[in-house]
Amino acid sequence: MLTYYANNPPFATHVIPVAQFEQLIQSYIECYAAFANGGRLQKGDYEIAKHNLLAALDEIAADVNRVAQGNENVIIEGGFKPRKTTRSKPGLPAVPQIKKRYAATMAKYLPNATLAPVPSITPAL
């Protein structure tokens, strides 16, 4: 069971009650077993159970993020693993990454070539 349900305070209220979450887990386990043993006829029930469980986990994760407000320790207390522990720098890179990659590729395969801007074409009147 997620530590989300065991840790109070930060998670004093729950978006999904414990009994309902346990029922979703049990349904997923039973439907998976039926699908694994029974074949394609049980695949629909398994996919529905999987979708319901993942939707519940998404709701719980959103609640953990709301409570944690970026605090890594609170996210871990909620039973989740933080994906990123540092904040990103805002803004765009000084040189677009595609140009860096293109220049590196050109330097590797065409060492004498230069990366120059494309001349504008002026239509003749």
pLDDT in single tens digits along all 125 residues of the chain = 467 777 667 777 788 888 898 999 999 999 999 999 988 888 999 999 999 999 998 898 888 888 888 788 887 888 788 877 666 676 765 655 566 666 666 667 666 665 555 555 555 55
What residues contact residue 56 under an 8 Å CB cut-off, 6+ apart? 16, 20, 21, 24
pTM exceeds cut of 0.85: no
The torsion of the CA quartet 78, 79, 85, 91, rounded to 10 degrees, works out to -70
What pLDDT shows up at residue 26? 94
